[in-house]
């Protein structure tokens, strides 16, 4: 068995885990991160992309509002290439309590959230598709964030300072010696090899899975997995984040992110963060709520529905999951459970990941005798351009035009070139096409992989063949397995919105992959059966045009 030694093991490859890893490494503390999938495989890669101004929480959760307002400014400075300055509107619709507007403004002033009331005329000039029946509009500093790009930038910074990232390493056991945690036992899911990682401390940053990790150490962490369902629409009908001006509720926010607009979210308790589905009623409800913000919203083409699981920490009894604070909590299991060497950080949100990491590393550094200060609030992350300009929507098109690389496009929807796909495989360490998607946005446009998936897998196949030839290997990675896996993952998010134009698109994809390429007739191995899962593309759940 391979044995590694380090100061801190971080469990969880989302925004918080990578943030902790980066802060540790920048202070000179040896650290290894383990993640059972790819980075952002969990909740970080499954949210609506909002950079919070804090406005959403000024009345109900003022602590979270203060944290968001402070971190909003920091993130714009350290990762400008991951942030689009969309701005945000909190709008009062005819369905909202008129008295809430004044409470909202007072809450903003009390928590330091910048706010300005603007006229309906100005709001409609900037966003002409808004409901003209809106009575009041408040402008805040919301933004849109690319959590995939941001997390990889943080991980790259951590690596540059000596940290290790072990993707696709599943924690089998949290190792204890009497009342002290001394490391973890992990399995490399790609090779089956087990590794023992010995450490002075283990930081549990597994998000919605933090309770499962804590249980391996013999302690209890009460994480309430709160499922939030979102729908991506094919048209970016607004360029400003639009919030309903009311207490946070389901379907009350619309986020323009890259080329789409995402409406969200629900908040439904699920017993297991690995087992949940999307109910048709959730989609219908979301489209109906969208109509209150944008008349005709439900007539736009819905591209995809997906859900993420919030890691809500429940330390008090509440009636509704929305009453659980969105603030984060650092749990010291030495003081709480009498178990040394283990800390858990739970709750919070993407916007506050850096602050969460800083607090956790402050404790770890003090325990390890490290006096180096936190530098993550000033250090610009890898990938930011020299002018520190924020992201802008047309940057990929501008690059394609400047490089005259139209002929090199693999994904026309998201303007992904062959060289970018190769980079994701060779330098990014992608283990499958879904990893490439997270790195490049391949397959995230209207065709949802219909035209680009077979092109991308062809690149994978050629690179794998070249690598085998160079190294004398004999076991190629099955490209057809990767293709089926990717299509199946895309199809899961398409089934809830399969009607109208999206149904036509999926019928075309069905013709390409089943009738023309006949991928459902490729030979299966035992390992393939779970990946293929019958390839439900062959039997789509057809919905009515009026749905």
Write the pLDDT tens digit of every residue in 305-329: 999 998 888 765 444 555 566 678 9
Contact criterion met (CB below 8 Å) for 506 and 498: yes
Mean pLDDT of the chain: 90
161 CB-side CA count, 13 A:
25
Q: Return the HEC string of 129-185.
A: CCCCCCCEEEEECCEEECHHHHHHHHHHHHHHCCCEEECCEEEEEEEEECCEEEEEE
E strands of 361-447, at which residues?
409-411, 416-417
pLDDT at residue number 539: 30
Contact criterion met (CB below 8 Å) for 416 and 440: yes
Q: Which two tokens stand for residue 478?
A: 């099955």
pLDDT at residue number 542: 29
Contact criterion met (CB below 8 Å) for 292 and 131: yes
In the chain, the percentage of residues whose pLDDT exceeds 90 is 75
Phi, psi (rounded to 5 degrees) for 60:
-90, -25
pLDDT at residue number 525: 53
Strands 2-11 and 31-34 turn out to be parallel
Name the burial class of residue 461, with classes exposed (0-12), middle (13-18) and buried (19+) by CB atoms within 10 angstroms of its CB: middle
DSSP reduced 3-state for 368:
helix
146 or 525: which carries more pLDDT confidence?
Answer: 146
Residue 109 reports pLDDT greater than 90: yes
pLDDT at residue number 384: 86
Choose the weakest-confidence range: 261-275, 376-390, 445-459.
376-390
CATH class in words for 80-145+224-311:
alpha beta
C-alpha distances in Å from residue 456, one per residue of 33, 443, 463, 514: 29, 10, 11, 18
DSSP reduced 3-state for 269:
strand
Indicate the pLDDT class of residue 538, thresholds 50, 70 and 90: very low
Q: Which two tokens stand for residue 333?
A: 């299991």
Residues 277-284, mean pLDDT to the nearest whole number = 93
Residue 537 reports pLDDT greater than 80: no
Helix or strand holding residue 483 (H, E) = helix 479-494
Name the burial class of residue 84, with classes exposed (0-12), middle (13-18) and buried (19+) by CB atoms within 10 angstroms of its CB: buried
In the chain, the percentage of residues whose pLDDT exceeds 70 is 91
Contact criterion met (CB below 8 Å) for 294 and 236: no
314's CB contacts (< 8 A; 6+ apart) are: 222, 223, 224, 324
Strands 88-92 and 136-140 turn out to be antiparallel
Helix or strand holding residue 425 (H, E) = helix 418-426
User: In angstroms, rounded to a whole number, what is the distance separating the alpha carbons of residues 407 and 77?
Assistant: 35
Choose the weakest-confidence range: 40-49, 328-337, 351-360, 517-526.
517-526
- Tell me the domain boundaries of the chain: 80-145+224-311, 395-538
Residues 347-354, mean pLDDT to the nearest whole number = 94
Whether the bond into 265 is cis, omega within 30 of 0: yes
C-alpha distances in Å from residue 315, one per residue of 115, 329, 349, 479: 32, 10, 17, 47
Residue 174 reports pLDDT greater than 90: yes
Quick: pLDDT tens for 228-266: 999 999 999 999 999 999 999 999 999 999 999 999 999
Angle between helices 433-440 and 479-494 (to 10 degrees): 60
Indicate the pLDDT class of residue 386, thresholds 50, 70 and 90: low
Name the burial class of residue 147, with classes exposed (0-12), middle (13-18) and buried (19+) by CB atoms within 10 angstroms of its CB: buried
């Amino acid at each position: 068995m391979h044995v590694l030694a380090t100061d801190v093991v971080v469990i969880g490859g989302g925004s918080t885990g990578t943030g902790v890893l980066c802060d540790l490494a920048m202070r000179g503390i040896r650290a290894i991160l383990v993640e059972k999938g790819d980075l952002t495989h969990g909740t970080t890669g499954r949210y609506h992309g909002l950079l919070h101004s804090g406005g959403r929480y000024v009345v109900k959760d003022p602590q979270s509002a203060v944290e968001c307002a402070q971190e909003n400014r920091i993130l714009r400075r350290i990762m400008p290439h991951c942030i689009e300055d969309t701005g945000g509107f909190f709008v009062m619709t005819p369905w909202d309590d008129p008295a809430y507007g004044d409470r909202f403004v007072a809450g903003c002033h009390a928590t330091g959230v910048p706010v300005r009331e603007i006229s309906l005329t100005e709001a409609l000039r900037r966003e002409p598709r808004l409901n003209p029946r809106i009575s009041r509009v408040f402008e805040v500093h919301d933004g849109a964030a690319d959590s995939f790009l941001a997390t990889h930038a943080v991980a790259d910074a951590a690596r540059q300072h000596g940290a290790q990232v072990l993707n696709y390493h599943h924690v089998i056991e949290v190792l204890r010696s009497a009342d002290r945690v001394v490391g973890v036992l992990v399995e490399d899911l790609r090779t089956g090899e087990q590794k023992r990682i010995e450490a002075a401390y283990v930081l549990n940053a597994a998000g919605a899975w933090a309770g499962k990790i804590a249980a391996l150490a013999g302690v209890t962490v009460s994480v309430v997995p709160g499922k939030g369902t979102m729908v991506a629409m094919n048209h970016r009908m607004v360029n400003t984040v639009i919030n309903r001006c009311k207490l946070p509720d389901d379907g009350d926010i619309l986020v323009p992110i890259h080329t789409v607009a995402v409406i969200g979210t629900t908040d439904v308790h699920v017993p297991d963060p690995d087992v949940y589905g999307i109910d048709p009623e959730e989609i219908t409800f979301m489209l109906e709520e969208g109509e209150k913000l944008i008349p005709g919203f439900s007539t736009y083409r819905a591209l995809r529905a997906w859900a993420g699981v919030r890691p809500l920490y429940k330390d008090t009894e509440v009636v509704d999951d929305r009453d659980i604070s969105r603030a984060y909590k650092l749990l010291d299991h030495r003081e709480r459970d009498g178990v040394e060497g283990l800390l858990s950080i739970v709750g919070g949100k993407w916007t506050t990941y850096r602050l969460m990491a800083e607090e956790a590393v402050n404790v770890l550094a003090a325990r390890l005798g490290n006096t180096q200060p936190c530098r993550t609030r000033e250090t610009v992350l890898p990938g930011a351009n020299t002018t520190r300009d924020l992201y802008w929507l047309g940057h990929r098109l501008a690059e394609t035009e400047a490089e005259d690389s139209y002929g090199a496009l693999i994904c026309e929807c998201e303007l992904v070139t062959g060289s970018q796909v190769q980079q994701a495989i060779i330098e990014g360490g992608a283990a499958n096409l879904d990893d490439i998607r997270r790195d490049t946005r391949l397959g995230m446009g209207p065709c949802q992989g219909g035209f680009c998936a077979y092109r991308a897998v062809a690149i994978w196949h050629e690179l794998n063949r070249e690598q085998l030839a160079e190294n004398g290997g004999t076991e190629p990675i099955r490209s057809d397995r990767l293709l089926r896996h990717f299509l199946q993952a895309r199809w899961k998010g398409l089934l809830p919105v399969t009607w109208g134009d999206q149904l036509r698109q999926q019928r075309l994809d069905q013709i390409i992959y089943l009738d023309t390429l006949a991928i459902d007739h490729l030979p299966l191995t035992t390992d393939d059966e779970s990946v293929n899962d019958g390839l439900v593309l062959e039997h789509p759940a057809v919905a009515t045009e009026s749905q």
